[in-house]
Amino acid sequence: MSNNDHDPYMMGTELKAVETDPQSLEKQLRLYQQHLQELPASASRLDRAHIQLDIAETLLALDRKEQAWSTARETLELFFATEHWQEAVEAYNVLFQTEQPASLAALGQGVWLAVTFPVHADTTIAMLQHIIDETPDDSDGAAVAAITAHYIADIRAPEDKHHSLTFLTQNILGQVAKRHSNVSTQAELDAWMEKLHLKDPAEFLPRLATVIDVLVQDEWWFDRDELRKKLPVH
């Protein structure tokens, strides 16, 4: 993988986003572990899974990647069973960054889940950014991930974040266009998007599915057709 750093953008709490020195992280890890041990018998499995996800993210920040993998992987079954898609994608984000043999498959599955279900826009953008970071400069897959991120920001971002997130994703798209084809002007960007069929979701979303299939190969941990039946009905 191209990036060995964990992703602070996806960390679950403000504390974890700012506490990065090992001593502070070890202290935070002990607090989470103590919290998990002290949960009352009446606590739900979901309560436990939330704390386990906090532990997994902290283990990742400490570069204890195998432990982070096993801890995050354990939470997925429950998040799926309870249809907590947001938390499931956050677990997939940890799994990808642990750089284990199945981490690319985890990335593909996490992106599929984030794009398919109403997961937070910023979480989905962060997952798609991983695809951009993982692909060569001349890859059309990065372009497809970038335009999908912009599309998701536009349709999902809450009103108070819409401007900032669409501005972010527009910049991401511009950066991908520059590295892909040395695009530097708006006219060139429009022509590039037209050439790569990036203006219509009906065209670029199926192409994202192809990118995801390349990442996952035959390592799907869930049945996509069954999950589609759980999509909210509008």
Query: 108: buried, middle or exposed (CB in 10 Å: 19+, 13-18, 0-12)?
Result: buried
**Cα–Cα distance for residue pair 28/146, rounded to 1 Å:** 34
**Burial track 63-100 (b if 16+ CB lie within 10 A, e otherwise):** ebbeebbebbbebbebbbeeebbbbbbbbbbbbbbbbb
| SS3 assignment, position 87 | helix
Taking only the tens of pLDDT, the chain with its 234 residues reads 444 444 444 444 333 444 678 899 999 999 999 999 998 988 899 999 999 999 999 999 999 999 999 999 999 999 999 999 999 999 999 999 999 999 999 999 999 999 999 999 999 999 999 999 999 999 999 999 999 999 999 999 999 999 999 999 999 999 999 999 999 999 999 999 999 999 999 999 999 999 999 999 999 999 999 999 999 765
Among 179, 79, 195, smallest CA distance to 139 is for: 179
- Res 82: pLDDT: 94
- Res 19: pLDDT: 61
- Res 68: pLDDT: 98
Distance of CA 47 to the CA centre of its chain: 22
Instruction: Kindly report the pTM of this predicted structure.
Output: 0.89
Q: Which two tokens stand for residue 96?
A: 């990808």
Q: What distances in angstroms separate CA 121 from CA 9, 78, 115, 195, one per listed residue?
A: 12, 23, 9, 27
